Amino acid sequence: MAILVFVESAEGKIKKTSIEAVAYAHALGGPVTAIALGAVEKAELEALGKYGAQKVLHVADERLSQGIIQAYATVLEKALQDESADLLVLANSSLGTPVAARVATKIGASLASNVVELPKTDGGFVVKRSIYTGKAFAWVELKNQKKVIALRKNAADIKEVGSPAQVTPYSVTLGDADFATKITSSEKATGEVLLPEANIVVSGGRGMKGPEHWGILEELAKTLHAATGCSKPVSDMGWRPHHEHVGQTGVKVAPQLYIAVGISGAIQHLAGVNSSKYIVVINKDPEAPFFKAADYGIVGDAFEIIPKLTEAIKAAK
């Protein structure tokens, strides 16, 4: 079965979640074609071959750098047809998920989002999905010949299995209807490491007592090359910018390691972080609900623990 993988990019770089999608598609066993839209560095596209893409298509239309869902769906529909691919794989993201839904509607495909592992193909095509904000799993059979899979972050191991791929220019005729939606403005999150792409996240809550105390968390994050986050009350009070708000109504993260400092663990916050591989909770309240969800917990004063932890990590490096 031929597979098409839509890869997302930011500032000319391929996102890690899209590299995971390429690795996932390669593990399925079919020939894999990756497709990128907009301005992307050629070296980034060629590198997709190392993770399993036999071919890389590049639609170098600057209009496609804005993430217009209708236009993306039109391009992917044509690419699926031209490549005779019955399966589209892409990252489950703020862009990938709506694109997946639109493409599935256009081509009459079965759709599964938040997929967490390879499908079972003995007697059908059954995928495992994360549901209820990560509290449960569902097994869903995709019965249509054409299928669309949106892959959850960290659901595939990234391994180098090949050599750099040749990049082929690819063009699609796009009309005014494809750009009926206009993006009038956008605000980009700032920081050395951004939350959606971070492997490690250091978050603080009201237990930090004020914005003036955030320096110790920023130092820990810098030492770990991590992103910084916060709870909703912290962003509501203006202690931290809103783009750092982690939770059900903020940014949902799935890093390898999530460190929660001075956060009680309200259900809305847990819903945004429970896909993390490991959760470490630091709180002076031994009854904090977050400890029930933690893989590791430290009961104590964050203002004493965090500086010592940072120095220990620096010494270990």
Specify binding-site residues for FAD: 206, 262-269, 283
Could you tell me how far CA 288 lies from the centroid of its own chain? 28
Residues in the chain: 317
Phi, psi of 38 (to 5 degrees): 85, -160
Contact 264, 285 (CB under 8 A): yes
* Nearest CA among 114, 156, 120, 112 for reference residue 135: 114
Binding residues: 206, 262-269, 283
Contact 289, 304 (CB under 8 A): no
DSSP lists the bridge partners of residue 33 as 4, 55
In the DSSP assignment, the letter for residue 274 is T
In angstroms, rounded to a whole number, what is the distance separating the alpha carbons of residues 168 and 165?
A: 9
Contact 230, 246 (CB under 8 A): yes
In angstroms, rounded to a whole number, what is the distance separating the alpha carbons of residues 167 and 240?
A: 42
Q: How many CA atoms lie within 13 A of 134 on its CB side?
A: 20
Kindly calculate the radius of gyration of the chain based on its CA atoms and give it in whole angstroms: 21
* Nearest CA among 8, 159, 174, 10 for reference residue 77: 174
